[in-house]
Structure 1
């Protein structure tokens, strides 16, 4: 529980919506639906549906900012519509016919519903290897999406320190659009996320209201990395 001075210094939702057991959750402003699935081979995947009728989606803003996963390869598989992916300096446009799009570790990337699409964008996304501590996984997405939706409900701007803390403990870092050594990006994010976000402002990397119980232990430790 945040102290009063931390709440004053960096406002946050007074109440977190319990979504840990929900098989699907809505993003802030209803831009996208996240469905948490397990494939026959045991892999977790998330099916995202970005709604074309939403102006944020049509504006190409329903996906994340430019970022890097430093431990895992990320995969996208479109089921409907058109996805745009910025992969380093190259824009990739993909549909169902293009199969799986691979984003290797260390690649600057972001994704969005491409403007050429005329229907909802539906795709599966996952990262490998799976089962790592502090990795991009289902629980990161549950925390990241759940927190931002609760901020929207209470008309609060999401804290960049909270978002960076959640991302840091999923081995994900924000990045500028130009190349920069990953060790510098990790170091800067560590200071802002852990020193400022966690120790000064009292944020957590994960919350039980959002987090799937079976993977909550490692994400709740601020000393894991």
Structure 2
């Protein structure tokens, strides 16, 4: 992607109530939020992906940029609620780390607390957390539209663009009321973190034609357009007039149809680990009469069930760089 060039998505995930990124390293299931909360989702992070993956994904998993949870941030207007369902979640709040487990029940985090969370190495294979946030009744807040777009962009930018665009990142996070604090050695970390996102992400990004939401990622596009049109800085980037957000029933109805597909990019939007294990189980069942499984047979079963041809990994490695 060129300098000051607005991002264009590589894949489509709109209309999916459950989205998987990075070959199943991250799985997000959107749920109906309870009264007073703007979103609820069940989020699962794996420690690794088992099965055939692209060189880009393997390199990412083995790097410091590995997607194991959000970076350090704060929410200006919303409180968050965490409930660990499986594994161990490391929650760092204002520099103090705490391990959360299912026995802790739901834990609340007030607005304007600097925090992050990630999967603990001793979680077993995965960590599952039920996340929700208070409803501040404003446009720039955490909700399904924000998370659909952030996780879609995170996946595409890290795998196919070599990293996050600074302006695009700040604009998208600002649209979700999600801000990166200034470094720990600076005073007024929240103040400078907030205004950096507003000035560079919202104002400069808006002038350059960036937008925080993309139709390719967004289930309720009418609501996303309505949010963008409410801002002077992003209204130029969208076309048409759209109605306001409707109830959960509408989002559920919009998600009821078939999920989109993405040609050779699709398999990294699936749970590669589960598919690989299913392939091995099928191969073992087919070969049970001999009491063993040949490596070649497992490989063919992998290709059959996961839908990856022998040249797919190399094809993915050649995905056009923007």
State the TM-score bracket (shorter-chain normalisation).
0.7 to 0.9
Higher strand share: 1
1:12 Cα deviation after fit? 6.0
Residue aligning to 1:120: 126
Change over 3 Å in CA distance of 1:97–1:154 after alignment to 2: same
1:38 Cα deviation after fit? 0.9
Change over 3 Å in CA distance of 1:197–1:119 after alignment to 2: same
Counterpart Cα distance in 2 of 1:124 and 1:8: 37
Residue aligning to 1:210: 217
CA contact (8 A) 1:173 1:189 kept: yes
Residue aligning to 1:3: none
1:42 Cα deviation after fit? 8.2
Change over 3 Å in CA distance of 1:28–1:119 after alignment to 2: closer
1:26 aligns with 2:30: no
1:38-86 residue CA offsets vs partner (Å, 9 max, x unmatched): 1565853111111123484998851111101010001111110000011
In structure 1, list runs of 5 or more residues that go unmatched.
1-6
CA RMSD of aligned residues (A): 2.8
Residue aligning to 1:78: 84
Query: What TM-score does the superposition give when structure 1 sets the normalisation length?
Result: 0.84
Residue aligning to 2:141: 135
1:115 Cα deviation after fit? 2.2
Change over 3 Å in CA distance of 1:47–1:190 after alignment to 2: same
1:183 aligns with 2:178: no
Change over 3 Å in CA distance of 1:10–1:73 after alignment to 2: same
Residue aligning to 2:41: 46
1:100-139 residue CA offsets vs partner (Å, 9 max, x unmatched): 1211100000000012322310111111025532101111
Change over 3 Å in CA distance of 1:155–1:188 after alignment to 2: closer
Residue aligning to 1:223: 232
Change over 3 Å in CA distance of 1:48–1:213 after alignment to 2: same
Change over 3 Å in CA distance of 1:89–1:57 after alignment to 2: farther
CA contact (8 A) 1:168 1:193 kept: yes
Query: What TM-score does the superposition give when structure 2 sets the normalisation length?
Result: 0.60
Residue aligning to 2:247: none
Partner secondary structure for residue 2 of structure 2: helix
